[in-house]
Amino acid sequence: MKKAIIIGAGIGGLATALRLRHKGFAVTVFEANDYPGGKLSSFRQGAYRFDAGPSLFTMPHFVEELFQLYDLDPRDYFQYKKKETVCNYFWEDGVRFSVPADRDSFAERAEEKFGTAAAKTKEYLASAQKKYELTAPVFLEKSLHKIGTYLSADTLKALVQSASMGIHTNLNRLNDKHFDEPHLTQFFNRFATYNGSSPYKTPGIMSMIPHLEMHYGTYFPRGGMGSITQSLYSLATEKGVDFRFSEKVKRIETAGGKAVGIVTEKGNFAADVIVSNMDIYPTYKKLLPQEKHPQRVLEQERSSSALIFYWGVKKEFPALDLHNILFAKDYQAEFDKIFNQKTLHDDPTVYLNISSKEEPGDAPAGCENWFVMINAPGDYGQDWETLISEARENIIAKIDRNLDVRMHDLIESESILDPRGIESKTSSYRGALYGAASNSKFAAFLRHPNFSRKIDNLFFCGGSVHPGGGIPLCLLSAKITAEMV
């Protein structure tokens, strides 16, 4: 039986382990932490439970595929339900908008709220769907770094219609031109943050992202987002995948142009295949110091990071749902601060995730568990203690204004995660959530491939390589990688 070693037990590593095990490999996963999941993990803070990282669950069929590989019913391992309300939005001018899961209902409510004809919004969403359907078979489901991808009918079809995809403009210009209504422009601009980019830089083709949320829907897994990790981990152990936690990989061993094994703090391990689920930057810098590095790829602009406050809140808020956004008044200034000045805006957009809305046991009776996040630059040596202190006050002031409350009196427990902690816990270079940013039309092609061009038997999966970050793309990354192996 051929041996495969996976470095990192993030969602991409777990999925790759399951796929390679199904192909008959003996699979061992090495993880520096004492738990699986990477960013997709959870923790308890007194009487409160929190999902530590990703909080949006879309396209659950990519998770279900992993159980179906083994002819198992996914519902025997984890359950989830579709949300009727996608997200609640709050603007500083007092406008509030609750987004329904149904596309037609969304368009009609947007017409009532903002005066934009429902037909115009439906036209935008139909265009988003067309962009996704044209590009997904090429950019998301196959390697961009294999010549065969460019010889397919799907690629030719996409190239023929590329002029209509918004590649040569940025997302903000595309949205502003289509809607000419500031609230809707800002609403659709927000989807750039789904891959850690700026709507004022990322190409207009990213307007396809709303299709994923509004067509496929958003979901909540029973037990919280961490249950996705736990279900895949349980399946992997059941199928014979070996996990070695708290065992940090120090080096990838090569010989004769091939990857032949790894060195950890506890010994040397040989393998026929090595897959790194670790961020591509430290994979080269720390695990392959002896090899020539792809500098152009490694020097790409990093995606945004995050500053997260985990608050135990002594009150329930009927106006809030699972997902909530309190928008910055000056959105462009916020992204200028993040990407150009590498600092935080004094009026940040605030994302509130409250899993106790769906899972009451996540908080004591009459209380809520608040995951409070703002977009942040990566760690470039800023004075984070000052930035965190100022951001906390700005966030509380914003919540007070929008919800007519005094948050200072309601926070009874708190933990904080900043870009330094994200890098420390997940080895994500500079704490970037999605590896490289997608702030140029060439970013997708510059993202590192799922294989090494220089070293045979060495492969890569996860959010820092093709096709990108976020749960669905990490799962697609695992699929591409396993098929290459």
Q: What is the pLDDT of residues 38-57, one digit of tens each?
A: 999 999 999 999 999 999 99
Q: Residue 407 is encoded by which pair of tokens?
A: 């948050």
Taking residue 110's Cβ as centre, other Cβ atoms within 10 Å add up to 23
Pairwise CA distance, residues 464 & 477, whole Å = 10
According to CATH, the superfamily of the domain at 3-41+225-300+440-484 is FAD/NAD(P)-binding domain (3.50.50.60)
Q: Which segments of 190-270 does DSSP mark as H helices, in order?
A: 209-216, 226-238
Q: Residue 372 is encoded by which pair of tokens?
A: 């409070």
Q: For strands 249-255 and 258-264, give the pairing.
A: antiparallel
Query: ∠95-193-420 over CA atoms, to 5°?
Result: 115
pLDDT at 138: 67
Q: Which segments of 217-374 does DSSP mark as H helices, in order?
A: 226-238, 280-282, 295-298, 331-335
Task: Say if residues 273 and 25 touch (Cβ distance below 8 Å).
Answer: yes
- The pLDDT profile of the chain, 485 residues, written as one tens digit per residue, is 999 999 999 999 999 999 999 999 999 999 999 999 999 999 999 999 999 999 999 999 999 999 999 999 999 999 999 999 999 999 999 999 999 999 999 999 999 999 999 999 999 999 999 988 887 766 766 655 555 544 455 545 555 455 556 678 999 999 999 998 999 999 999 999 999 999 999 999 899 999 988 888 999 999 999 999 999 999 999 999 999 999 999 999 999 999 999 999 999 999 999 999 999 999 999 999 999 999 988 999 999 999 999 999 999 999 999 999 999 999 999 999 999 999 999 999 999 999 999 999 999 999 999 999 999 999 999 999 999 999 999 999 999 999 999 999 999 999 999 999 999 999 999 999 999 999 987 776 678 999 999 999 999 999 999 999 999 999 999 999 999 99
Q: Which ranges in the chain are annotated with CATH 3.50.50.60?
A: 3-41+225-300+440-484
Burial of 58 (0-12, 13-18, 19+ CB in 10 A): buried
DSSP state of 283: I
Length of the chain: 485
Secondary structure (3-state) at 192: helix
Pairwise CA distance, residues 228 & 54, whole Å = 11
Point out which residues pair with 48 in neighbouring strands.
Answer: 45
Pairwise CA distance, residues 439 & 10, whole Å = 25
Taking residue 299's Cβ as centre, other Cβ atoms within 10 Å add up to 12
Q: Residue 91 is encoded by which pair of tokens?
A: 């603007």
Place of tokens 């490694």: 298
DSSP H helix total and E strand total for the chain: 16, 20
H or E element, residue 269? strand 267-270
**Cα of 23 vs its chain's centroid, Å:** 27
Interacting residues of 282 by C-beta distance below 8 A, sequence separation 6+: 427, 429
Q: What amino acid is encoded at 248 in this protein? A: K
Pairwise CA distance, residues 98 & 326, whole Å = 12
- What are the angstrom distances between the C-alpha of 366 and each of 318, 351, 362? 11, 21, 11
pLDDT at 164: 58
Pairwise CA distance, residues 345 & 196, whole Å = 16
pLDDT at 150: 42
Secondary structure (3-state) at 17: helix
Which has the closest alpha carbon to 373: 196, 208, 183, 217?
196
Which has the closest alpha carbon to 346: 336, 354, 356?
336
